[in-house]
Structure 1
Amino acid sequence: MSFEATEHQHVRFNPLRGDWVLVSPHRMKRPWAGQVERPAEVDIPIHDPTNPLCPRVTRPNGQVNPDYESTFVFTNDFPALLEEVPSPPVSDDPLFCAGQARGTCRVMCFHPHTNITLPLMTQKEVRAVIDRWIMELEDLGKKYIWVQIFENKGAVMGCSNPHPHCQIWASSFMPNEAQLKDTNQRQYFLDHGTPMLMDYVARELEKKGHLLVLSWRVTRNTGCSMVVTTHLCYAQPQLKSLWWAMRCWHRPNVT
């Protein structure tokens, strides 16, 4: 019997994390009787006077949001990270260690209307969002080693507020996943002299015509990666505008 990747179980190496992933394609043949949920039918108003992210609404801390017409950024009223906190004492027990964690959390509203999402916004409105991302990244990046901009969208993801917004977390430490991938990419560059992700994109482009590529080492059915085909460094002058960088992004060549 000869090995078939689409039929026989095997493990695949993930160079970004440095670990191995079990792949069992034959399990796709099993009967499936999972429950299917219907999308919730919710009538979202343009403006909700009780929503703390809407313009002119008072937030839980007593501050009133301005009558903003584009993007609006403020420090999270219930942040996971604070700038000034005492550091934990040094532990003599290697099994119970704690370290310093400082940072800040911001909330960024994309649009004054609650019943709109980023994909439905105009190009001008999306440009304003991207430009503000750049401003926040450059501002927080001067003080913190890690800045992460992310969006939890939808109640199923734990986002209870339908207003279009994202979170911006900046920290004095690198998250575990980011640290792991940074270490492995640095080692790959030392070993091969080329960026790992650029080599990965080159391999995928050899297959021709891929609009969307399911990662070869994906661990779940929602796993997806986007990688630009042009290698740009954050420090390069031409990357001053993320919008310019996105114009270099060729959609047919994205993984």
Structure 2
Amino acid sequence: MNFDRPHRRLNLLTGQWVLVSPHRAKRPWLGQVEKVPPENLPQYDPTCYLCPGNKRSVGVVNPPYTGTFVFDNDFAALLTPEENGDDQRTTGLFVAEEENGICRVICFSPRHDLSIPEMTQEEVEAVVRTWSDQTLDLGQKDFIQYVQVFENKGAMMGASNPHPHSQIWATGHIPNEPATELERQAVYLAEHGSCLLCDYLEAERRSGERIIAVNDDFTAVVPFWAIWPFEVLVLANHHIASMPDLSPRQVSGLADILRQVTTRYDNLFEISFPYSMGFHQAPFDGKPHPEQHFHAHYYPPLLRSATVRKFMVGFEMLGMPQRDLTPETAAQRLRELPSTHYRLR
């Protein structure tokens, strides 16, 4: 098949198609141009509600933390059953039901000016261990079925504070995206007797076209079905279901691959690269999930430069997602970037 001509690709994890139009990559850009975010943040910001020792907007004072710091979100999108009231469900054509949960914030570092690619290997390992510990803690609560770990980096992705942090939303039901992926993985396992992402990773290894970084325990690829221009899928090399299943060596491997991916992101346009990232793992619904393969998605918005972003509008909202830059070209550009952060060169 000629991938230089318009074609569509199937996302094996969702069953959705993406339209690829490589010939449009040469079109001139007259659309919105973003402002380049400031680069010179202070190590400590007295006005930041996440820095150590500072007072948050609700009046709580942060401890003088020196590593990671976790607290319940002051403006949580979810409430516990005690806060939310009795479980109720509507019927008929207007269906709604209570959704309980817990939302937490995880600060990566006391340093206001750091992000994952500029942190040390040991510091990022501490973040991974904190994610794992929080996943296990929240997943053991009897009203929680799913734990979603995610990071929004940069104002372009809706981050309200540049201090390095992520969030965890633990929900009483399995959210749409992981539920769809679970279903697709379960169908594949039933039909083929093997793991979908194990088989996909082996196919990507044989191809090599879309791999951008690899170590003994994790592989980062631009997925064949990528929607966002420089989207990345991080896959565990060995079949595990969730973050608490990580061995100490795999914790180190995950920290290393996250640093490799985000360093290449920052080096692409020599800015602190914005993205939304999150892990998909097994639910805490009391059922076995042999189909689930632990992985992470990176969805960055930038397209041509630090100031030109991709928008999901028009045909993409009403028809299907569409991209101009092929995943193979995006992977090559990321793969060929230096592994040393541009600020250290």
Q: TM-score range by the shorter chain?
A: 0.7 to 0.9
Is 1:66 aligned with 2:57? no
Distance 1:42 1:215, change over 3 A: closer
Equivalent pair of 1:104/1:171 in contact (CA under 8 Å): yes
CA deviation map 1:62-104 (0-9, x unaligned):
22111111111110100001113025643232x2100120000
Structure 1 match to 2:312:
none
Is 1:27 aligned with 2:24? yes
Alpha-carbon distance in 2 for matches of 1:40, 1:240? 35
TM-score normalised by the chain length of structure 1: 0.86
Out of 94, 115, 118, the position equivalent to 2:113 is: 115
Alpha-carbon distance in 2 for matches of 1:42, 1:5? 38
CA deviation map 1:153-201 (0-9, x unaligned):
1111111211111111111111101100101100100000000001111
Task: State the SS of the aligned residue for 1:166.
Answer: strand
Distance 1:41 1:167, change over 3 A: same
Alpha-carbon distance in 1 for matches of 2:14, 2:3? 22
Is 1:16 aligned with 2:13? yes
Higher normalized strand content (fraction of residues): 2
- For 1:167, the aligned partner's letter is Q
Aligned positions of 1:1-255 closer than 5 A: 4-7=2-5, 9-34=6-31, 36-37=33-34, 39-84=36-81, 85-87=84-86, 89-93=88-92, 95-143=93-141, 144-208=144-208, 211-212=211-212, 213-234=221-242, 239-241=245-247, 243-247=248-252
Percent sequence identity over aligned pairs? 41
Rg (Cα) greater in structure:
1
Greater shift after overlay, 56-65 or 29-38?
Answer: 29-38
Structure 1 match to 2:302:
none
Greater shift after overlay, 155-164 or 211-220?
Answer: 211-220
Task: State the SS of the aligned residue for 1:97.
Answer: coil
Distance 1:191 1:30, change over 3 A: same
1:45 deviates by 1.9
Task: State the SS of the aligned residue for 1:204.
Answer: helix
Greater shift after overlay, 203-212 or 180-189?
Answer: 203-212
- For 2:102, the aligned partner's letter is T
Give the paired residue count.
247
5+ long unaligned stretches in structure 1: none
- For 2:237, the aligned partner's letter is T
